[in-house]
């Protein structure tokens, strides 16, 4: 009886085990765990303008440090001279691969064509709070922040103290009569050119601005183009007259501002109008040069002129725009330490309040320049036609200086072009 019961127990146990094995055989094999999602990589194509030999190494080091801290963000940096910068980004746009970030001096025509991101939604609150408000306003159209200021300058008259002493000039000229007289004294006493004028592709818009505004005119009046105003015609006629009398450098439409700075450094030019970067760039190359600085000369009876220029950053819409990555990179670009080093080495004025306050604390010249920047006149950068007007103006220097067009005829043509271009 016990033996039979034992065999029954064994048989039952065997049956249970068989059932378990059968069930196990029907069960699905254990799933392998899914691979973790790949981290998202971001790309920023950054095209920057080359201001000096300092620009490229500075930006290369900055990008390297940023990528080390942000390993998932790749920054493709391209640094280009101003002479070829337009061609580079235009080619990129034509291939539908525009830069994510471009350092330039114009933006309104891009914004008008719908190509730009609104940086107002990309900037961090901290960076937005640091940038100079009046420059931010200048870079805004229709309530959108299509550009942000990157660097700024104010323009002044720079002169050779040695040539001034040899010509018996004690103070820099403040008006056009004094400018004419001093240029003649320099030429007669030293043989050097009196006044450097840049009517090349690089700076003709700057010299037109100095003498338009110095006569009481300007590019716009009441929001409309006023290029052929009587004041502007008078300013351009004055420049032509200086050249006709041999009181300018001999090649205003050939030698650029940077080349004229070297000519002044070599003792062959008495004075010229340039940006405050003159005080950093020229003494670095000509350490023995003794130089002075004065106001931009204006027509007799006109108030002193403060003229500023600022370059900007814009962000093009792309198929890979990463707003968070752009925000991080902009914060890094304008970080006080890195930004301070850049503006000091390049000789610019800072566009952030924090660096401006820091540098002004121990530098009276910096403080004065920043104050001048706050009240300065600027190019009409909010006009979508401005880029095209500049391009057209660059073609008229030779025609005016060498008599193919009178100053009035040249400005009449430029006025018609600006009005027609703005109507499109």
The per-residue pLDDT for range 132-191, each reduced to its tens digit, is: 999 999 999 999 999 999 999 999 999 999 999 999 999 999 999 999 999 999 999 999
The per-residue pLDDT for range 178-234, each reduced to its tens digit, is: 999 999 999 999 999 999 999 998 899 999 999 999 999 999 999 999 999 999 999
Of 298, 204, 177, 193, nearest in space to 247 by CA: 193
pLDDT of residue 9: 40
Q: How many CB atoms lie within 10 A of CB 54?
A: 18
The per-residue pLDDT for range 311-339, each reduced to its tens digit, is: 999 999 999 999 999 999 999 999 999 99
- Residue 122: pLDDT band by 50, 70, 90 thresholds? very high
**Hey, do 42-153+309-374 and 155-308+382-423 end up sharing a CATH topology, with the first three levels equal?**
yes
- Residue 424: pLDDT band by 50, 70, 90 thresholds? confident
Would you state the CATH architecture of domain 42-153+309-374? 3-Layer(aba) Sandwich (3.40)
Query: What's the CA gap between 385 and 383, in Å, rounded?
Result: 5
- Domain range summary for the chain, segments of one domain joined by +: 42-153+309-374, 155-308+382-423
pLDDT of residue 39: 78
- DSSP assigned state of 146: -
Bridge-partner residues for 47, per DSSP?
78, 102
- Which residues fall within 8 angstroms of residue 190, CB to CB, at 6 or more apart? 163, 166, 167, 270
The per-residue pLDDT for range 48-82, each reduced to its tens digit, is: 999 999 999 999 999 999 999 999 999 999 999 98
The per-residue pLDDT for range 1-32, each reduced to its tens digit, is: 333 333 334 344 444 344 333 434 444 555 55
What CATH number should be reported for the domain whose range is 155-308+382-423? 3.40.190.10
pLDDT of residue 33: 65
């Amino acid at each position: 009886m016990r033996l039979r019961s034992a065999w029954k127990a064994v048989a039952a146990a065997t049956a249970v085990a068989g059932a378990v094995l059968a069930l196990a055989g029907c069960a699905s094999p254990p799933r392998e765990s899914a691979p973790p999602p790949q981290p998202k990589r971001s790309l920023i194509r950054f095209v920057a303008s080359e201001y000096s030999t300092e620009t490229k190494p500075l930006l290369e080091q900055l990008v390297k440090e940023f990528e080390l801290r942000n390993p998932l963000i790749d920054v493709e940096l391209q640094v280009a001279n101003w002479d070829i910068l337009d061609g580079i980004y235009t080619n990129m746009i034509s291939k539908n691969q525009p830069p994510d970030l471009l350092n330039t001096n114009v933006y309104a025509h891009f914004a008008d064509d719908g190509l730009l991101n609104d940086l107002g939604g990309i900037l961090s609150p901290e960076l937005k709070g640091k940038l100079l408000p009046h420059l931010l306003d200048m870079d805004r159209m229709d309530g959108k922040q299509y550009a942000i200021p990157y660097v700024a300058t104010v323009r002044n008259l720079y002169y050779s103290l040695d040539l001034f002493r040899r010509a018996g000039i004690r103070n820099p000229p403040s008006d056009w009569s004094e400018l004419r007289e001093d240029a003649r004294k320099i030429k007669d006493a030293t043989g050097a050119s009196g006044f450097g004028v840049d009517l090349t592709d690089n700076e003709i818009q700057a010299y037109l601005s100095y003498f338009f505004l110095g006569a009481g005119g300007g590019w716009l009046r009441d929001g409309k183009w006023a290029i052929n105003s009587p004041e502007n015609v008078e300013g351009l006629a004055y420049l032509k007259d200086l050249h006709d009398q041999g009181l300018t450098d001999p090649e205003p439409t050939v030698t650029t501002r940077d080349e004229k700075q070297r000519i002044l450094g070599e003792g062959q030019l008495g004075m010229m109008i340039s940006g405050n970067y003159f005080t950093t760039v020229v003494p670095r190359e000509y350490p023995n040069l003794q130089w002075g600085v004065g106001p931009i000369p204006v027509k007799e009876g006109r108030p002193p002129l403060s003229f500023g220029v600022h370059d900007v950053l814009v962000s093009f819409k792309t198929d890979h725009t990463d707003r968070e990555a752009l925000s991080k990179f902009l914060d890094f670009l304008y970080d006080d330490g890195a930004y301070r080093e850049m503006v000091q080495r390049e000789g610019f004025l800072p566009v952030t309040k924090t660096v401006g306050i820091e540098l002004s604390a121990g530098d009276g010249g910096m403080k004065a320049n920043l104050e001048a920047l706050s009240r300065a006149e600027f190019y009409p950068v909010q006009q979508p036609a401005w880029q095209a007007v500049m391009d057209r103006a660059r073609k008229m220097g030779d025609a005016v200086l060498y008599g193919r067009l009178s100053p009035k005829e040249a400005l009449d043509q430029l006025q018609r072009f600006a009005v027609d271009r703005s109507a499109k």
